[in-house]
A and B are shown apart, each in its own frame.
Chain A
Amino acid sequence: MELIRPDINIDFVGKRKYAYLLSLSFIIISLVGLVWRGGSLYGIDFAGGTVIQVSFAKPTDPGKIRQGLTAAGLERSAIQRFGGEGENNYLIRTDLAGPEQGNLQDRVKESLEGVYGKEGVTVERVEMVGPSVGHDLRQKALLAVFYATLFIAIYISGRFELKWLPPVIMTAALILGVYTLRVVGLNIPLLILAALLIATALCWVLKLKYALGAVVATIHDVIITAGAIAVAGKEFDLTVLAAILTITGYSLNDTIIVFDRIRENVRKGRRRDFAELVNGSINQVLTRTLLTSGTTLTTILALFFFGGAVIHDFAYTLMVGIIVGTYSSSFVASPVLIEWETRFGKPRPAQGKK
């Protein structure tokens, strides 16, 4: 069975202006969303605080729950519906997380039982992250992102050109650049930004067009996925961050598949207009791209719909990331190649016009 005809030839490249527009709008929406959400983006893993998940025997509403919390002094906490329709689960979130909150869980339970009765409410889950642990987790998360960025940048720089020199230069430049900036006193988020800029600049300078395409596509993916989280009102916690890192690795898979085919066709020496060659390559691997992303997406959708509320945000992040990652291989990474070739490429002796 074939979903897609083998001789298909959709004009991806011709339509790339629309793709730029689409990508740009999504990026703007994402950035606006991220800035607008600001501090509320952080879950308790990073901001510190306490989250208590309670389930009720009968349907209720936040107002009544707030009343129930007065006895524990928590009537000003954030209360949020959680999970599916039939479950009557709510999340109570507060910034309090110090040692004086040692018996917070008990106080909440007793206070709610006062209103709902002993059988009417169950405390399902409690997570309390004190300020020092919150700080530790922030550091760890940033370090994880930082090292992932480094390794991926180094890998990409060598993977496409298949020469050993670029990765060596990339490694040296990144280590040097990051070290000096660290000594100057830059904090980790800025270091991550710096590493990205250094990587991108090096790709430009060393004429690593494939690597550049991959880096731009990856940055595009991360911004939009993060934006999707911000716009959907969700929070960044450790699991969401893990999902974003996974997406970064996964979306590169896709880009590598497309680029490999492009390079193969270039090697075969077809004297065609480069853009046409790229378009042909994308079409050739279309089946593969759609199928691999499709099967992965299917399993993640199963998790999204059936996995339960606790893992829901994680599944959402993966879902958005896979879709955007697939899109970006054809509509961001490849166009970058074409633009580069148009501006900096060597003119071909025999031009076969379409």
Chain B
Amino acid sequence: MKNLQWRILAVVAIVAVALIYLLPTLSKELPPWWTAVLPSEKIHLGLDLQGGMHLLLEVQTEKAAENRTDRLAEEIKDRFRDAQIRFRQVERQGESGILVSLASGQPWEPVNSIFKEKFPTLDVGARDTTGDQLQVVLQLKANELQHLKNFAVAQGLETIRNRIDQFGVAEPDIRTQGENRILVQLPGIKDTQRAIDLIGKTALLEFKLVDDQNSVNEAVAGKVPPGERVYHGTRVDPATGQVSRTAYLLKDRTLLTGEYLTNAQVQFDRNNQPYVGLSFNDTGAKVFERITGDHVGERLAIVLDDNVYSAPVIQDRIGGGNAMITGHFSMDEAKDLAVVLRAGSLPAPVKILEQRTVGPSLGRDSIRKGLISMAVGGLAVVLFMLVYYRASGVIADLALIIDILLIMAGLAAFRATLTLPGVAGIILTIGMAVDANVLIFERIREELRLGKTPRAAVDTGFDRASITILDANVTTLIAAVVLLQFGTGPIRGFAVTLTLGVLASMFSAIFGTKIVFDYLLQKRRVKTLSI
């Protein structure tokens, strides 16, 4: 008797807890006293049900290494010039090596001491003396390289997060995956192309001088003066849609980069055309002042991701650290450019490895169809149980309802995501949940046929069948656990609902329905079983 009471209490408690976890999903608003203490998260819907975008990016950390090495090479050249060391070549070699070629007759000692004192992150390799030239390869230290790569990924993550924040998505999920991958999930996003552009832009802002002395056309044909490069500027005329490409010959040396920016804002000029106004920090402002002061009359090219935005003539020395990027922008283009400059440039470019986007209408459609299938399938099963097992069928149906309740509550409680295969998993478990009841009821029928009393039949039926049920479900659980381990998003959703469903159905069939039978037999003293 007491045993029965405790069991009933246990089931009631579990159902109550399940309902508590489910309430946030079912009700629109929760009173403050609820949200303070009790769980208040809706069930998370996967992107395939909500609509949204899933993006897997790879940070090209080699580029970050190359950039750092290039900068170090430049620094070495500066130091050499300051110390009047004669050299023929200082060039990056591979990802993280620097080939230093000294002029003939250049003594090694001062070179070596510069390396040792000013460049602690570089390993000095073996010296090679061919002819009268001294050559040595410097290599970035291994742990420094690794540190750099890790930093590139971490910084990339932050930058992308900042960019997305400004874009205004409700519940973005941005995290690293593996050594150099970043996973971005943006539920509910509508303008996927703009988001991809925003995320993928390296946004390296550089200021370089234009070489107006030498001929651009000759450079394009192949005669590029040393230390210079041909860049292009692409412009789309907003009125005609025509794309024009202009070539510029720029001195490759970057004078100023976007890392000195404190702000970038969309502003409007006299013709109400949007442009992006830049503000530099103190250091940047000083550098900018010096550049403009030293090169009045020359043109300063504003280069973003190797694309020349504009190359205005420096009229005068510019103090105060403000600059403008003009370029016939649409409002959206200007806004996005400002966002990307504010959030900072990516330390290394990113490559899109995988993209999955579901439109909101397809998402809603999938939910609707999933619910219809669940209703149809569930109803068919419920009716069958009623007809075939009569009153016991009602008990089995009640157990089924509790199953579904427990699965949904489990999703909410574990913060698991419900995906479309997950809904299929629930539908599958509706079918399988009833299996357990069928096994028990068939066994009870057999025992009754052998002439046992209802009490004995029920007990034996449950005992014998329970073992088979537990057992038979183990193989399904093995499959579910393997899928959980190796599956990606939607598959994992399936594995979760399958696992929850199997466990819930075992619980409600073996434990739950037994309680009802015991109650009927003990308390109500039912004589015959309607089964």
Which chain A residues have a beta carbon within 8 Å of chain B's beta carbons? 1, 3, 6, 53, 99, 102-103, 105-106, 122-130, 132-133, 137, 140-141, 143-144, 147-148, 151-152, 155, 159, 238-239, 242, 245-246, 248-250, 252-254, 256-257, 260, 287-288, 291-292, 295-303, 305-308, 310-311, 314-315, 318
Contact = CB atoms under 8 A, between A and B. Distances in A.
Interface string B196-225: 110010000000000000000000000000
Nearest to B438: A291
A49 to B, nearest CB: 11
Given A152-B478, A299-B377, A306-B376, A103 B438 contact: no
Interface of B: 48, 56, 58, 192-193, 196-197, 200, 351-359, 361-362, 365-366, 369-370, 372-374, 376-378, 380-381, 384, 387-390, 420-421, 423-424, 427-428, 430-432, 434-435, 438-439, 442, 446, 449, 468, 471-480, 482-483, 485-488, 490-491, 494-495, 498
Nearest to B355: A128
Contacts of A287: 442
For the complex of A and B, the 9 pairs showing the least CB-CB separation, nearest first, are A302-B377, A249-B479, A296-B431, A299-B377, A308-B369, A299-B431, A144-B486, A253-B472, A292-B435
A286 to B, nearest CB: 10
14 contacts: A99-B351, A125-B359, A127-B357, A128-B352, A130-B354, A148-B479, A151-B482, A155-B474, A292-B439, A295-B435, A296-B432, A299-B430, A300-B427, A310-B366
A140 B475 contact: no
Given A137-B488, A151-B482, A256 B380 contact: no
A310 B48 contact: yes
B384 A295 contact: yes
Among A103, A253, A260, A299, find the residue whose CB has the most chain B CB atoms closer than 10 A.
A299
A245 B482 contact: yes
A308 to B, nearest CB: 4
Contacts of B389: 1
Given A130-B352, A239-B491, A292-B439, A307 B373 contact: yes
Give the dominant DSSP class at B's interface.
helix
Contacts of A152: 475, 478-479
Contact of A302 (B421, B427, B434, B476): B427
Nearest to B436: A292
B163 to A, nearest CB: 16
A105 B491 contact: no
Contact of A303 (B356, B424, B498): B424
Given A126-B357, A256-B468, A256-B471, A245 B483 contact: yes
Give the dominant DSSP class at A's interface.
helix
Nearest to B362: A124
A310 B494 CA distance: 14
A304 to B, nearest CB: 8
A6 B370 CA distance: 38
B420 A310 contact: yes
A126 B420 CA distance: 16
Nearest to B371: A306
B193 A295 contact: no
Given A140-B486, A253-B473, A102 B352 contact: yes
Contacts of B387: 1
Contacts of B380: 298-299, 302
A130 B196 CA distance: 15
Given A1-B387, A308-B365, A299 B482 contact: no
Contact of B381 (A1, A133, A298, A314): A298
B212 to A, nearest CB: 34
Given A295-B438, A315-B424, 8 more contacts: A102-B197, A122-B359, A125-B357, A132-B353, A298-B384, A300-B377, A307-B372, A311-B421
B366 A308 contact: yes
